[in-house]
Amino acid sequence: MTTPKLGQSTCECGACHRYFTTTANFDKHRAGEYGGGQYCNDPADVGLVQRANGAWGGPPMSEAQKQARGWVA
């Protein structure tokens, strides 16, 4: 497995040592009660997709979603 270059928002989980594209995506894979009962879900089970660089992020946006944001004509 390759180690992604950590950017400003990329973070590594201290528990399972997976990488995430944003802290929001990191939070998605964490479950349980804060303060001792927390654990990691498999990122794929919470809707995340592993990127080419090894980090887990949200699923790629569809063309329709990009158009809705005005990113493409």
Over the window 21 to 40, marking each residue x when it contacts Zn ion by CB under 5 A and - when it does not, the resulting string is: -------------------x
Distance CA 32, CA 59 (A): 23
Tokens of 72: 């493409």
User: Any contact of residue 44 with Zn ion (CB under 5 A)?
Assistant: no
CB 36 within 8 A of CB 42: no
User: Any contact of residue 49 with Zn ion (CB under 5 A)?
Assistant: no
Contacting residues for 37 by C-beta, under 8 A, at least 6 apart: none
User: Any contact of residue 46 with Zn ion (CB under 5 A)?
Assistant: no
Nearest residue (CB) to Zn ion, 6 versus 16 = 16
Contact residues for Zn ion (CB under 5 A)? Answer: 13, 15-16, 40
